[in-house]
Amino acid sequence: MEDNKYCQSCSMPMDNTADRGTEKDGTPSQEYCTYCYQNGAFINSDMTIDGMRSIVKTQMEQRNIPTDIIDTAVNLLPYLKRWKTN
């Protein structure tokens, strides 16, 4: 795994280069996944943290991920770069 292994928007693991979004110049993003970030911008720029919580929870439930892991991922969101407020 690479240094920054979780998307700093949705907390998705980015184990492979294919999981990474892209910068304006087409290079892989070091911070954001392909589902959150393309061409140097967030795909859904008006997304709120509550909206992201809902998406993360729904996607993980559809994959039958255990509830404790879902809770950890959702609770991690406020600490990620996109949502951190301090």
Tokens of 65: 């991920």
66 DSSP assignment = -
pLDDT for residue 86 is more than 80: no
pTM of the model: 0.86
What residue ranges do the domains of the chain occupy? 17-79
Give per-residue pLDDT as tens, 33-59. 999 999 999 999 999 999 999 999 999
- Residue 5's pLDDT is what? 87
Tokens of 77: 């969101």
Q: Which residues pair with 22 in a beta bridge?
A: 28
pLDDT for residue 1 is more than 80: no
47 DSSP assignment = -
14 DSSP assignment = -
Are the C-beta atoms of residues 52 and 34 closer than 8 Å to each other? no
Whole-number Å distance between alpha carbons of 46 and 69 = 26
Per-residue pLDDT band at 4 (split at 50, 70, 90):
low
